[in-house]
Amino acid sequence: MAIAVAAIVVASAGPVSGGPDRPAIPRPPGWVDGHVYHHYNDLTTELQDLQSAYSDVMALSSIGSSVRGRSLWCARIEDPGAGGAGKLALYLDGEHHGNEQLGGELAILLLQHLVEDRSDALVQQVLSQSVVYITPMINPDGNTRDQRDNVDGVDLNRNYPYNFTTGGSHGASPASEPEVRANVDFMTGANLSLYMTFHTGTVALLYPWGDTTDPSPDRAMFERFREVADAAGVTYGPSGTTLYIANGASEDFAYGALGVPAFTFEVDGQQARWITTREDIAVRLADELGLVMELLAAAPLMTANLSASPVDIPGSVRVGDEATLEVALDNPSYEAANNTTVTVELRRDGSVVRTFSATVDVPAEGSAKVVVGVTFPEAGEYDVLVRLEFRRLQVDNATNATAVLASRTVEVRGGLFGGGGGGAIAALVLVVALAAGGYVVLRRRGVLKPFRKPHPEQ
């Protein structure tokens, strides 16, 4: 009986006249609601209702439109009273494939959990360090038809502009489909620190690469989360070896093109709407939701994040003396910061006149020390700037983090016999004066007698 009721509700929540975004019939009350997959139209209604009820933390906007003009709704969740500046941007999406409803349902459950359960410790942790973006349904046209591809017959998760290949249902060209173009534009402009995409077909948490069986450059970091997946009873590994090879997928685009840690989560084996679910959706996906929350909370550990000790720049030195600057670096994350560089710039009149640098590898969950020797070319006043630069991930296109560790004006004094032309001349004059003065003193004391030329008769 439960299945029959669910089927009737789904049918009544189908496309309605008056435009693709017209609100649908309200979702059914009580226990039935937990067993019915969202249709695009009642998803629209629910997202609007959530935004109205939780406007203090949630904003709703469209990142683009489908082929048929349906909005790709994206929720932005941020607690302005939690944490400070510099929050991470985390992005999750669902239903690239319109018949993979439980992927979209997990995205909706996550959204509800973040806005409704803010007393939960893990929710508080996530919102104190992150802004979370969720697009539950990338393929609304496919959702209304309960089909994998969009209405152009293109598999949206083969259409991304990273190692795209033609053929099959991949599309005419990279990002040829409006749904993919919208997602690419959003992901590119959001300065993401984590991307996750939800699918169905099996139960597995996957990481790059998906288009090859070669290991990713950041495999060591990704493998740190195997224990978390194992605890949830979820298969874990690289997409290309754990599932199958797939070119042009969103996971590889996020990681390979944008340099962002990325995961594909296959959340359930069921596909297609025709049997909905006997088990309450929230109960069915409870373990998967818990795993996603753990990954969101661990997002700061997925990229190298260095802290540095104070740098002592001397206020005064002599020309030719070497000033040694030491920097202790600490890396609490699961990602190594290889080829980390500390650079010291000497500036005069706004221009860099000389640079000194040293490079070190800072291991994951470890520390290292950098020593930079600095010498000044001539006397005068210098502005000294100490910079730190390191890669967030090892993959190409990963962002470089930069920071100014210290700055100070340094007075460089001339040496006794050096320090530029003025210093050398002054030193020479001093030596001559001292010699002349000593001669006069010795002469007066009779120690030295004046030189006389011998007479010819003598």
What DSSP string runs through 74-89?
EEEE--TTSS-SSPEE
Say what the pLDDT of residue 22 is. Answer: 47
The burial class, CB within 10 Å (0-12 / 13-18 / 19+), for 77 is buried
Say what the pLDDT of residue 276 is. Answer: 59
Residues whose CB is less than 8 angstroms from the CB of residue 311 and which lie 6 or more positions away in sequence, other chains included: 325, 326, 327, 386, 405, 406
> Residue 7 is encoded by which pair of tokens?
């089927």
What DSSP string runs through 99-122?
T-HHHHHHHHHHHHHHHH-TTSHH
Is the backbone peptide bond immediately before 209 cis, with ω within 30 degrees of 0? yes
**Domains recognised in the chain with CATH numbers:** 2-301 (3.40.630.10), 307-413 (2.60.40.10), 423-458 (no CATH)
The tens digit of pLDDT for each residue in 115-148 reads 999 999 999 999 999 999 999 999 999 999 999 9
> Residue 338 is encoded by which pair of tokens?
């290889």
Nearest CA-CA partner of 177 in 134, 139, 234, 131:
139
Say what the pLDDT of residue 454 is. Answer: 52
Can you list the residues of the chain whose pLDDT is less than 70?
1-33, 273-278, 415-458
Nearest CA-CA partner of 50 in 136, 126, 128, 131:
136
Please state, in angstroms and rounded to a whole number, the distance separating the CA atoms of residues 53 and 70: 23
The tens digit of pLDDT for each residue in 222-249 reads 999 999 999 999 999 999 999 999 999 9
| C-alpha 15: how far from chain center | 38
